[in-house]
Structure 1
Amino acid sequence: MSNPVFNRIDKQVRSGAYAGFGQQPRAQWSNPQQPAAADLSAEQLQQMYDAQPATAVQARRMTLDDVVMKTLLLFGIVVVVAAASWVVTDTSPALALPIWLAGMLGGLVVGFVIAFRQQVSVPLILTYAVLEGGFVGAISRVFESYANGVVGQAVLATMATFAGMFIAWKVGVIKVTDRSRRIFGMAVIGYLLFGLVNLVFAFATGGWGLIGSQFGLLICVVGVGMAAYSLAIDFDTIDRGVAAGLPERYSWLMAHGLIVSLVWLYLELLRLFTRARN
């Protein structure tokens, strides 16, 4: 939930790992086969001066379009697999829990591998989207059995929140600073520990766990707020990454990070609406 993918990328961006070409000795960027300026004619120098600079695509740098297209691809995979999982669990309710646990635990393991792996692995990212889709479809079917129509409400609220957070971040209503990132990171660690304890308690008691207490609705609201602010941090990190000239392959990690936050937000809204009805 703390989106370690973006945390690692943001640290690399701020350290100048990709934008700081000037940190390397100039000799490393010289080409011994390329003639020096003094050896070129005036016409050749003029041609070099008039040449168009390389675009971000030509330089293999990440662009916003790269992130958008890959996010849509991963989002489509999650939706298609979630729909298939929904149909399977609807016709065979006994499969809901196995698919739910396989998707949750498998996605957790693959997600951590993606986050801490030094090289970007597209197959792992695609695998995560498949596992997450299975998990989302199964858990959505379970929540729908508790409150009819809650899944549709959560989907609409997720899309509206995503759009609202992007607009609020873009116009500067919501600020993302280094200090807010640190505070958010500590809050997420606490919320994650609470979530694990609540999950164990829920399985042990067969109910809502601690969410079912009198403070359950307030806890759900806090979870939605944290997931929503996570999107603002994601937007800011993507913006920094594009400005810093991250390699194009990092657009896969950016897209993966957005999917992680979107699924988190959807689950929090799903739980909030279901808890409010009960």
Structure 2
Amino acid sequence: MPTTSNPAIRNLLTLDGAVAPAGPVRSGGAAPSAAPDRPITLDDIVVKTLALLGVLTLSAVLTVFLELGFLALPALLAGLGIGIYLGVRPRPSAGLALLFAAVQGIVLGEATRFFDALHPGVGTQAVLGTGCVFAGALAAYATRVVRVGAKMTRWAVGLAIGLLALSLAELVASAVFGADLGLRDGGVVAVLVGLPAIAAASFFFLVEFEAANRFLQSGASHRWAWYVAFGLAMTLVWLYLELLRLLAYLRWW
């Protein structure tokens, strides 16, 4: 059975009862403090995803206009922390999903400002490229041109882990030994690393679509729509940053 590359959704799908069908509240029980539960729908996923994208965009715009770039590193660490937390303890938290979008918006805003200052227009190209990849992945999934299988998913996850290991190795080499591995300097090695990263991020969209479809088929609570939206937003952020860097590298050549 295919599993999602997003550790949070992957763990969620394997937890007993985590996606149990939502049912009506029993009349003999205590009155719930929240609204009655109901099964998740496609509209729930679309609305929650658009909400996260709206917060992400607003945060990025405010970062540029208010010159909040000094918050980029803390925001990056906060986003990483939220991602790890939701990966270890999956839960449909609207607050954490929105906070993730807000802090990642700061990262995207500062990254866009930095690269666009060096190469005007590269930010717009990255936005258009990300939108095209998302639309293409959605069309490919909807028409079943590309099927999400366990083998391809393992390949994508393995590639992502390898890229993360390379990034950590470069960080350690630079901080401890003052060495530059050439992974982010715009050279040939940087481009060769960026291309598979974009390919992996693009494939992750297909895996997340499959995960969303499984949520819909399971009849899980509508609250899990926030979690699906979180997985899609995390993949989108990764793809945008990789495209932004690659386009800037190509401008240097």
| TM-score, reference length from structure 1 | 0.77
Q: Determine if contact 1:61/1:247 at 8 Å carries over to the other structure.
A: yes
Which residue matches 1:211? 184
1:217-236 residue pairs with structure 2 within 5 A? 217-236=191-210
**Greater Cα shift, 124-133 or 58-67:** 58-67
Are the counterparts in 1 of residues 49 and 229 from structure 2 also a CA contact under 8 Å? Answer: yes
Q: Does 1:124 align with 2:102?
A: no
Q: 1:124 to 1:183 in 2, by over 3 A?
A: same
Specify which structure has the higher proportion of helix.
1
Q: Which residue of 2 aligns with 1:45?
A: none
Please identify the structure whose Cα radius of gyration is greater: 1
- Check 1:86–1:215 CA distance in 2 against 1; reply closer, same or farther (3 A cut): same
Percent of aligned positions with the same letter in both sequences?
A: 33
Instruction: Specify which of 227, 232, 236 is matched with residue 262 of structure 1.
Output: 236
Kindly tell me the number of residue pairs found equivalent between the two proteins.
238
Cα distance in 1 for residues equivalent to 2:57 and 2:225: 20
Distance 1:104 1:245 in 2: 34
CA distance in structure 1 between the partners assigned to 2:62 and 2:162 by the alignment:
34
Task: Show the 5 A alignment for 1:138-177.
Answer: 138-177=110-149
**TM superposition shift of 1:59:** 5.9
| Counterpart residue identity of residue 74, structure 1 | L
Matches of 1:185 and 1:148 in 2, distance apart?
Answer: 33
Consecutive unaligned residues in structure 1, runs of 5 or more: 22-30, 34-56, 90-94
> Residue type of the partner of 1:194?
L
In the TM superposition, residue 252 of structure 1 has moved relative to its aligned partner by: 0.5
Superposed CA offset, 1:25-71 (max 9, x none): xxxxxx9x8xxxxxxxxxxxxxxxxxxxxxxx986111111010000
Tell me the residue number matched to 1:80.
58
Q: Report the Cα offset of residue 16 of structure 1.
A: 7.0
Q: What is the aligned counterpart of 1:241 among 202, 215, 224?
A: 215
Secondary structure, counterpart of 1:210 in structure 2: coil
Letter of the 2:52 counterpart: L
CA drift of 1:20 comes to 8.0
* Cα distance, 1:207 vs structure 2: 7.7
The Cα of 1:224 is off from its aligned counterpart by 0.6
Cα–Cα, structure 1 residues 274 and 60, in superposed 2: closer, same or farther, change >3 Å? same
Deviation at 1:153, TM superposition (A): 0.2
Paired position in structure 2 for 1:250: 224
How far apart are the structure 1 equivalents of 2:189 and 2:90? 41
Range moving further from structure 2, 176-185 or 64-73: 176-185
Contact 1:157 / 1:269 at 8 angstroms: preserved in 2? yes
Pair 160,84 (structure 1): closer, same or farther in 2 beyond 3 Å: same
Q: Deviations over 1:106-128 (max 9, x none)?
A: 11112222222254322122111
Q: Which amino acid aligns with 1:68?
A: V
Distance 1:263 1:118, change over 3 A: closer
The one-letter amino acid paired with 2:14 is K
Structure 2: tracts of 5 or more residues without a match: 29-34
Q: Which residue of 1 aligns with 2:249?
A: 275
